[in-house]
Amino acid sequence: MRALARRPERASDLERAGAEVVQADVLKPGSLPDALAGVQTAYYLVHSMGRGSSGDFAASDKAGARNFASAARDAGVARIVYLGGLGGGGSKHLASRHETASVLRAAGVPVTYLRAAAVIGAGSESFRTVFYLVKRLPLMVTPRWVGTRTQPIAIGDVVEYLAAAPTVEEANGRDIEIGGPDVTTYGGMMDAMARALDISPRPRLGVPLLSPRLSSLWIGLVTPVDAGVARPLIEGLEVETVVSDSSGMELFDIEPVSIDEAMRSAMAEMREDAA
């Protein structure tokens, strides 16, 4: 396994796990040919929306995907596996995820596009947002997006789909919608978090007119999630993210775990990381 990192010194954990870590940056096309030499399957897990990013994340995502896809084609890569989002456009965040898939495919390399809703894992911003809201607030003033339907999936199950994708030939080049067995709402995710924390579900007072901007500022005050990350995430929370075509999932011999098990596993991982 070869991993690309802008700063290889910050990826020592990957080296310890046995990966070859090479310096490369998808926004610097000249760094990609050597990094992709000899590669048959390339995983594209890049997203410019996050801490330390600057400028227009959607433009950066588009440029990075174009550079990577062109370099992959020139290097003879047989397939790209990309992890993006469920749901339609509806927000800049989700629209950028889908545009990235289109740009990757434009170079001609077959792309397996795994599409997931909220990923439940200790490092997920969606998980961290829910964790801190539930842990710190005995009563929540909530906007209308807490009633939006979603189908979250455990990080372990996402990794299983990613790892298996190159071995499922029927998945090559197509969209694969993936989700856990539970269709819930973001309010339901908060209740599942409360169960994982062994506390009572938090009462919620709905305020339908609370805008995404005000919601992101509120989350910025209550949680350590960066407000610049929170706002595009929240705009996406108003869009339903539920598997509408399960035929792709049926190609895989994977049984995703329940939302309660996913929450418990993520909590255990968070405690382990903090130890």
- pLDDT tens-digit profile of 66-116? 999 999 999 999 999 999 999 876 677 788 889 999 999 999 999 999 999
Sheet strands (E) in 48-150: 79-85, 111-116, 119-120, 140-142, 149-150
Sheet strands (E) in the chain: 2-5, 20-23, 41-44, 79-85, 111-116, 119-120, 140-142, 149-150, 153-154, 175-178, 184-185, 204-206
Q: Please tell me the predicted confidence (pLDDT) of residue 50.
A: 60
User: CA-based Rg of the chain, rounded to a whole angstrom?
Assistant: 19
Q: Please tell me the predicted confidence (pLDDT) of residue 144.
A: 77
Among candidates 238, 273, 242, 236, which has minimal Cα distance to 153? 242
Q: How far apart are CA 97 and CA 93, in angstroms?
A: 7
What are the CA-CA distances from residue 174 to residues 87, 115, 160 (Å)?
16, 11, 17
H helices then E strands: how many in the chain?
A: 10, 12
Residue 216 has pLDDT above 80, yes or no: no
First and final C-alpha spacing in the chain: 28
Q: Other CB atoms closer than 10 Å to residue 201's CB: what's the count?
A: 14
- Residue-wise pLDDT tens digits, 61-73: 999 999 999 999 9
Residue 51 has pLDDT above 60, yes or no: no
